[in-house]
Chains A and B, each alone.
Chain A
């Protein structure tokens, strides 16, 4: 990875007014910052096709299904439901019922290079698409486009909460059109997204790489560009995902992106096998039962489904621990700055106010 420090970066700007060449590359690098991200959910307008049994019931409805006429004790109802959220079981549901997305169609990537019996076909006809997460979230209103609440708020906090800032930097690039060997680095940025006069996210903003607290989110991998489309080599990564309540992250195995590149931005899909435990505990850690009710999202039922549908990374007992997942993403070009060195190293040498 080419590490252009700020001073060096500026000094190299001899172009007219600092203007970039038309291909958007500067010193064979280009930076991008994530501006849109959501599960790639294939939908029909009324949902009848992929959700023939309708959409899922949320906490409110499940509460009635579980407890109405059974008990009216707080400990056996509200606390029991919260306990189930914290420690979801895997036994089949009896009083509640979870609706998985049906059918063969889904957006996503072929993660394992195989065409398996449970794989999907993409709307473009590509076979072998691995995206079992679609079955989990596809019939839950919180995640359906364009404005499912969780879908909207995860994205909205991704945009407005710097904790979630996500950078993608390409180095050793000969051309944005074709280059079979480029270096790709993902990291956390520290700065707000740039906006234009209409309030839309704009290209050309600055992002500083977070080397102070975000080093766990820095990953470097190889990629190749074919006809303007970047594909990265599968890499295990984590990335921050928080709605400003808790401060969790997602863990994805064999993550890769397939992005159409332009000097102004990049868009396409990213996919990998998401760690089921980490994914699940993110749900209550960043949003509450109250919020999950916005789009009728039954957390414990989702857990059961995810465990059942998990399709990768088996543990010692042979149980799959990760589930294939695809997101649609959009990036805006950004100028990325690398600070010289972190002023303080996280984890050691931290000044202590309380412990002293």
Chain B
């Protein structure tokens, strides 16, 4: 079997094809790659772009937007139900899910809280552009001014005159009826905060003058897609202005806006959200360890473990503009006191940058407590869960659920004479119904066996020396550091990020016709040295990002991976 090279994938279609290959758990094949040239020389192929979709604003996007517009202290705790993970991303769930009655009630409740905060006497002076002539009566002009201004920021674009008139009318009638200008304004704001313009992102298309017969996102929809992708929040005034003036529709203007957005600290919020989603870190919200077995692992440890990885990712990819693949070999990280106790290091309060020394087994984010702890059982590690997660989350290779009628007793028996996970896992190999899939999950997982369920290092299990060697798709490694290196060079590692980033950015799963787009983005990504900001730039400046398929995308895609990447 051919070995991997570090070259860009062009024409391989690996990223797209991988999912299909793993369906039957046959070993993934690898194809030769052709060398890449200068990034800028790689031209985007003609492509059909993506469908325009109706997306529901996520809880984080809703709250981020409120905090941006009204201030970080305007907080509400709506407790929205979690989205469904789809094709590896929660973000895609919100492009499919709706807003049911129950959820709308929560939005309405949040709206009442927010409207109350904003119109209270302390705050309104700093948020209202005008003062009513009489606080006990309606003031149409003042209400109009506030609602139009605020509505534009909240709705990601100017409201129509009809809409503004509608909200102003609500504010005025209510103010008159309640004999209180601010109470009336609050009612209008409440209504605005549950209005479809805010809760739904409805993308609009228009004919592309440069490509007759083809459609593109209109300026405001483009600004919104950019902002939700890069900032996980609505666009701000500057981005909206670029949209309203049409600047964003010119290549130069779009580049300026993208560069500005990449230069804003909000990119960190946006990319945290993306990687939190891609890495399925929502699993942390239900993570618990058996306190009898792992007393040292506390709720704080779990919270900090998630933060450690996100901090590493942001620092490496954005602050340092590092190579994405190096995330899996880097020794640089950040530690907090709670994590330091797990790593057996000292650490002062807050977060401190730290580099694990050469020779330490901590190398790459896979060896951080986050991945190790999330993909384990409460009472012991699980090579299978870990292997499955790596395949699905990092390589975009979904693994099917176990077949029915499998006897787990040999694996699960706590009193078994079996000592190490490797021996236990070998049982899988004896059952042909299991062997196929476990073959692709277990070796990766076993490489992480030097870490227990809470991610602490161990040399032995029940007195038996742990053997962490194995192969990944044909490439041998001796230990977890070796696994990181093999993973670093695995073509699916980068193509998976590309696939996830692209589908996250458009809010829809990739489809067969995306093959060439993804290859193009992959190639550019490779040529840039796998730099995230370049990837984001490639995606957001591509036609693939703004081009709209005329007829909306087909309905249901293959459902094999709907269960998500983290089924246990």
Contacts and interface: CB of A to CB of B under 8 A. Distances in A.
Do A's and B's CB atoms come within 8 Å in the complex?
Answer: yes
Interface of A: 6, 9-11, 13-20, 191, 194-198, 200, 202, 204-208, 335-337
A19 B457 contact: yes
Contacts of B340: 206, 335
Interface in B447-495: 456-457, 459
A196 B296 contact: yes
User: Is chain B's binding surface mostly helix, strand, loop or mixed?
Assistant: loop
Given A206-B348, A335-B340, 5 more contacts: A15-B360, A194-B337, A194-B341, A205-B337, A337-B346
Contacts of B355: 10
Contacts of B403: none
A206 B351 CA distance: 13
Contacts of A17: 343-344, 360-362, 456-457
Contact of A13 (B360, B456, B459): B360
Nearest to A338: B346
Nearest to A14: B357
Interface in B273-296: 289, 291, 294-296
A196 B354 CA distance: 23
In this complex, which of A19, A336, A337 has the most chain B Cβ atoms within 10 angstroms of its Cβ? A19
B348 A208 contact: yes
A206 B296 contact: no
Given A197-B294, A204-B341, A16 B457 contact: yes
A200 B295 CA distance: 9
Contacts of B362: 17-18
B354 A205 contact: no
A18 B337 contact: no
Contacts of B357: 11, 13-14
B345 A197 contact: no
Given A9-B346, A197-B289, A202 B341 contact: yes
Contacts of A13: 345, 357, 360
A207 B295 CA distance: 20
Contacts of A337: 346, 348
In this complex, which of B289, B291, B358 has the most chain A Cβ atoms within 10 angstroms of its Cβ? B291
A204 B295 CA distance: 12
B297 A206 contact: no
Contacts of B359: 14
Contacts of A11: 357
A194 B338 CA distance: 8
Nearest to B455: A17
Interface of B: 289, 291, 294-299, 337-338, 340-341, 343-349, 354-362, 456-457, 459
A335 B294 contact: no
In this complex, which of A198, A205, A206 has the most chain B Cβ atoms within 10 angstroms of its Cβ? A206
Contacts of A336: 346
Contacts of A14: 357-360
Contact of B298 (A16, A18, A197): A197
A336 B338 CA distance: 15
Given A11-B357, A18-B343, A18-B345, A198 B459 contact: no
A200 B291 CA distance: 11
A97 to B, nearest CB: 49
Nearest to A204: B341
Nearest to A196: B295
Given A10-B354, A194-B337, A19 B295 contact: no
Contact of B291 (A6, A198, A335): A198
A205 B357 CA distance: 20
Q: Which 10 A-B pairs have the closest CB atoms?
A: A17-B457, A335-B346, A197-B291, A196-B295, A206-B346, A204-B341, A18-B344, A14-B357, A18-B345, A337-B346
B346 A202 contact: no
A11 to B, nearest CB: 7
Contact of A20 (B344, B361, B456): B344
Contacts of B344: 17-20, 204, 335
Contacts of B348: 6, 191, 206, 208, 337
Contacts of B360: 13-18
A27 B564 CA distance: 47
Contacts of A9: 346
A3 to B, nearest CB: 14
18 contacts: A6-B346, A17-B343, A17-B361, A17-B362, A17-B456, A17-B457, A18-B345, A18-B362, A18-B457, A191-B337, A194-B338, A197-B289, A197-B294, A202-B295, A206-B347, A206-B348, A336-B346, A337-B346
Given A14-B357, A14-B359, A206-B341, A197 B456 contact: no
Contacts of A6: 346, 348
A195 B346 contact: no
B459 A197 contact: no
Contact of A335 (B295, B296, B297, B345): B345
A206 B350 CA distance: 12
A89 B298 CA distance: 52
A13 B291 CA distance: 28
Contacts of B346: 6, 9-10, 206-207, 335-337
Nearest to B291: A197
A251 to B, nearest CB: 30
A205 B337 CA distance: 7
Contacts of A15: 360
Nearest to A339: B348
A197 B349 CA distance: 19
